[in-house]
Structure 1
Amino acid sequence: MRVSVIQMNQGSDKAANLDQARRLVEAAIAADRPGLVSLPETWTNLGGGRDSRRAAAEILPAPGGEGGPAYEMLRGLARAHGITVHGGSIIEDGGEKLFNTTLVFGPDGAEIARYRKIHLFDITAPDGTGYRESALYGGGSDLALFEAGGIRFGCTICYDMRFPELYVALRRMGAEAILVPSNFTLQTGKDHWEALLRARAIDSQCWIIAAASYGTYEERGATRSVYGHSLVADPWGHVVAKCSDGTGWATARIDPKVTARVRAGMPLLEHREAARAWVAKAAP
C-alpha cells in the first residue's frame, strides 16, 4: 500500500488553507496513486491567535451527518478518488474548549476514525517562547485505530510522539503503522523531529507516517517557524521517504513483509511483557 504525506504552509486564512490542501492532495494522487494520504496537524488554521482558531473550528457531526467545510472536503476527496484520507487534524469546536482532532475517511466517504490529541503542547522553547496549548484546547482520552488496505493504523498527533508508552499501547492494540500529523517548531524540529520519529518506529516496530507543516506563520504580531521535513519511517527506523523544504508531498510503500520480518527477528513486544512482570515483582 502506498501512502503520501502532504506538507503544507498554512496560515490563518481557512479558505486558502482548504484550497492549498485540496491542490496538494490531488497532485499527490495524480502523481503517485497512493491508497492513503495524510495531512498535517491543524491544517485548516495556523496562527492568528484565539479568535482565528475559534473562527476556523468546526462542530463535528455524528458519523454520517453533514459537517463543516473541512469535514466535507476530506470526505469528498476520499469518495471522489476511492482512497483513505487521514485528515491530519482540524480544530474541533467542543463548546467551552476546542479540540485538536483527527478525522479519517474511507474510500466510500464514510468516517472510520476520530481521535482527539491526548498530550497538549505546554512547553517553553529554547528561545524562551512559550506554547500553552491547554489554554485553548482540551485533551483527549481515547486511543483510535482504523484499517485501510489490510493494514491497521494508529492515530497520534505531534507532541504525542514524545511519549513512547502511547506508541507501545497502539502496537499492543494491533497497530502496524502509526500516523503523526504535526506542526513541529523549527527550534525543536532541527534537533528532535527525525530522532523522535525514528525512535517511535523502533520502539513500536510500526511504520511511522508523519505529515508536517513547513515555513512561517504570524501569531499575535510575532513570526513563528515550523520545521516541515514530513517523512515515512519503516519499523526498523529507516527513513524511506522525506519532503524537502517547501510545500509538496512524499510517498512510500508500506510493506507488511518488512513489518513481519522486523518483529520476528526482534520480538520486542514479548520481551516487554517479561520486563513488565519483572518490574511488577520487584516493586515494593
Structure 2
Amino acid sequence: MSVFKAAAVQMRSGTEPRRNVADLEAMVREAAARGATYVQTPEMTGALLRDKDARAAAFTTEENDIVAAASSRLACELGIYLHIGSTAILRTDGKLANRAFLFGPDGSMLASYDKIHMFDVDLDSGESWRESSAYEAGAVATIADLPIARLGFAVCYDLRFPQLFRAEALAGADVLTVPAAFTRQTGEAHWHVLLRARAIENGAFVVAAAQGGRHEDGRETYGHSLIVDPWGRMLAEADHDEPGVIVAEIDTALSAQARRKIPNLKNAREFSVKEIARPDAALRGAAS
C-alpha cells in the first residue's frame, strides 16, 4: 500500500508527432513540478490522423518511435513513472497497434498494452469510425506491479467492456487506467458515469487522461480528464476540453478499504443463463 500523487495530462494532439512530443514534454514537466510521481497522457499522444497515407508516413516501429524515446528520457530525468496512454506503433507484420507504454524512473520500459476493443461505430451525429480498418486489436490484458500501485491498463473504447476491468481488479489492480480520445457526443453522454462505475464496481482508483477540443484532422474530442477514487468520488477533473494537467493524491489503502466494505469481487458467483420459450400457443389462443 502506498500514497503518491498521480497526474493526468490533457492534450489536443495534432497531426505532427514532433509538435505533440514538445507539448507532451512541457505538460509532463508541469505535472512533475506539482509533485506527481505517476503521469498519464491520453490515447494517441503521438498524433491523431484520419488519413491512411498520413498515418503510414507518420508512424514507425517501437524502436524508432520518437514518443517512446522522448518519454523514456523524460521519465529518467524526472524520476517518475510515465504512462503514454497510447500512440500508433508499426508492428513487425506491417499492421498498426494502438499501444500504451509505461516507463519507469530509470527510463526503462516496464510494460506495454495494445488496445483490445476497436471503436467501430456509427453515431447519430453522422460520425462513422472503423478503428479496426487501421489498427490490429490486442488480445492480452496487462497488469504492472509497481512499488506505488498495481496498475491495470485499458484504452478509450475499452471503458465500455467492464469484464476487462473486473479481470484486472481480480488480478489485484488497485489503479485502473483509461487514457482516451472520446468523441464529444459520446463523452457528453457517458464519460463521467462510465469512469465512476468502473471505479465503484471494482473498488479501484481510475485515472483517465483525455484528448480535448477540435483537432487538426477535423475530429472533436470531449476532454474532461478525470481521477476517481474507489468510492466513485471525483478527486480531480479538467472541466473543459483545453490542454492542461490535473493532479490528485492516491492512497491505495483506500482501494483495499472499499473492497472490504463492499466485497463484491469476493461475492461474485458463476451462473448460467436460461432462456424461457415464448408461449406461442397461449398467444394464438388469446388472438382467436
TM-score over 0.5 (shorter chain) = yes
| Cα distance in structure 2, aligned partners of 1:74 and 1:147 | 20
Does the residue aligned with 2:107 lie in a helix, a strand or coil? Answer: coil
* Equivalent of 2:181 in 177, 180, 183: 183
In the alignment, structure 1 residue 27 sits paired with structure 2 residue 30 = yes
| Cα distance in structure 1, aligned partners of 2:88 and 2:98 | 5
| Cα distance in structure 2, aligned partners of 1:178 and 1:97 | 27
Deviations 1:39-98 (A, max 9, x none): 00011111351122222323124xxxxx42111101001100111000110101014321
Deviations 1:165-200 (A, max 9, x none): 100000111100011110000011001001110111
| Equivalence for 2:81 | 84
Give the superposition deviation at 1:29: 1.2
Q: 1:256 to 1:157 in 2, by over 3 A?
A: same
Unpaired runs of 5+ residues, structure 1, are: 62-66
| Equivalence for 1:36 | 38
| Equivalence for 1:253 | 249
Contact in 2 for aligned 1:167/1:203 (Cα 8 Å) = no
| Equivalence for 2:103 | 105
Give the superposition deviation at 1:283: 6.0
| Equivalence for 1:172 | 170
* Equivalent of 2:265 in 259, 266, 269: 269
| Cα distance in structure 2, aligned partners of 1:48 and 1:143 | 26
| Cα distance in structure 1, aligned partners of 2:85 and 2:230 | 21
Report the more deviating stretch, 86-95 or 183-192: 86-95
Higher Rg: 2
* Equivalent of 2:9 in 3, 6, 15: 6
* Equivalent of 2:234 in 239, 245, 250: 239
| Equivalence for 1:96 | 94
How many equivalent pairs are there? 270
Does the residue aligned with 1:189 lie in a helix, a strand or coil? Answer: helix
Q: CA RMSD in A?
A: 1.4
| Cα distance in structure 1, aligned partners of 2:53 and 2:110 | 30
| Cα distance in structure 2, aligned partners of 1:24 and 1:150 | 22
Does the residue aligned with 1:79 lie in a helix, a strand or coil? Answer: helix
In the alignment, structure 1 residue 225 sits paired with structure 2 residue 220 = yes
| Cα distance in structure 2, aligned partners of 1:54 and 1:172 | 38
Q: 1:85 to 1:183 in 2, by over 3 A?
A: same
| Cα distance in structure 2, aligned partners of 1:85 and 1:58 | 20
Percent of residue pairs bearing the same amino acid type:
35
Report the more deviating stretch, 251-260 or 75-84: 251-260
| Cα distance in structure 2, aligned partners of 1:147 and 1:35 | 15
| Equivalence for 1:124 | 122
Does the residue aligned with 2:62 lie in a helix, a strand or coil? Answer: coil
Unpaired runs of 5+ residues, structure 2, are: 276-288
Q: TM-score normalised to the size of structure 1?
A: 0.92
In the alignment, structure 1 residue 72 sits paired with structure 2 residue 69 = yes
The runs of at least 4 aligned residues of structure 1 exceeding 6 Å deviation read none
Contact in 2 for aligned 1:177/1:209 (Cα 8 Å) = yes
Which amino acid in 1 is paired with 2:20? N
Contact in 2 for aligned 1:6/1:37 (Cα 8 Å) = yes
Deviations 1:201-245 (A, max 9, x none): 1121111000000111243xxx32100000100111111111132
Which amino acid in 1 is paired with 2:17? K
